[in-house]
Amino acid sequence: MPEELTQACGGHSSPVRRPAMVPYITQWSGEEVAPRPKMVMRRGRIAFADERPYDRDSRGVLWARTPCQPGKGRPQFGLVHPLRQRNAVERLLCQVCGGPADRDADGVLWLLTDEPTDEPTEEPGTPADAGSEDVVTEHPPLCLPCARIAVTACPRLRRDFTAVRVRALEQAGVRGALYRPAAPRPVPVDAVSVAFDDPVVDWVRAGKLLLRLTEFRPVSLDTAVPATGT
């Protein structure tokens, strides 16, 4: 993997120099928010005191405001940049290099694990239906070269993974900080996963977009063929 990669933040690209294996969605120390925007209650939901149009998505969900400066400082491997994660999920970009995810006639390439998923339900925090065959994930897809590197470089994937081709999916909700009304300002109370049609979403500051994978089949990374034209 080349050291110089093109990073996209909200659809705008800028080349940055960085270590070879820092995923596109990883947050950097130079992107830390200080101070955080002041939270207020406005029109029956949480809001930033100095809210701007791009602080909310097309559904009206409030998103964490984080500077987008990939390559500045040190990579924070335990943290995911909200805007780049959302951008990768919405546009089906590879979570490692930021380019188009691998796609062929069987669908888009994903790596799944047996770790618990955060199923958005009518009651945040309620476990998913044990009989459901769908998979809810916060992880974007991958291109084939990055997938092959990731399964050897990522400790979680080294333990266990399943490669799948996804043919049908939908945006399921968001994961973020849940707030409750309080004086003088709303206060955070929990980290939750919430569906878009749940009224609780008005009290969540989103940090990750969730996808529901509804039609997929396992494949082998050893025999998979890169999709042409990607």
- What pLDDT shows up at residue 159? 82
**Boundaries of domain holding 77:** 4-218
pLDDT tens-digit series, residues 139-170: 999 999 999 999 888 878 888 889 999 999 99
Total domains present in the chain: 1
pLDDT digits (tens, 9 = 90+) for 33-87: 767 789 999 999 999 999 998 999 999 999 999 989 998 999 998 899 999 999 9
Strands 162-180 and 103-104: unpaired
Is residue 225 included in any domain, yes or no?
A: no
pTM over 0.85: no
Query: In terms of pLDDT, which residue wins out, 193 or 123?
Result: 193
For residue 229, being part of any structural domain is answered with no
Whether 230 is covered by a domain: the verdict is no
Residue 178 within any structural domain of the chain: yes
Q: What is the average pLDDT value for the chain, to the nearest integer?
A: 83
SS3 content of the chain, % helix, strand, coil (to 5): 15, 40, 45
**Do the domain assignments include residue 127?**
yes
- 183 pLDDT band, cuts 50/70/90, is confident
Res 100 pLDDT > 90? yes
Span of 4-8, 209-213, 214-218, 219-223 with lowest mean pLDDT: 4-8
- Mean pLDDT score, 110-136: 58
The answer to whether 144 and 221 have CB atoms below 8 angstroms apart is yes
DSSP H helices, 50-190, are 82-91, 144-153, 155-159
The answer to the question of residue 208 being in a domain is yes
pLDDT tens-place string over residues 131-140? 348 899 999 9
Residue 227 lies in a domain: no
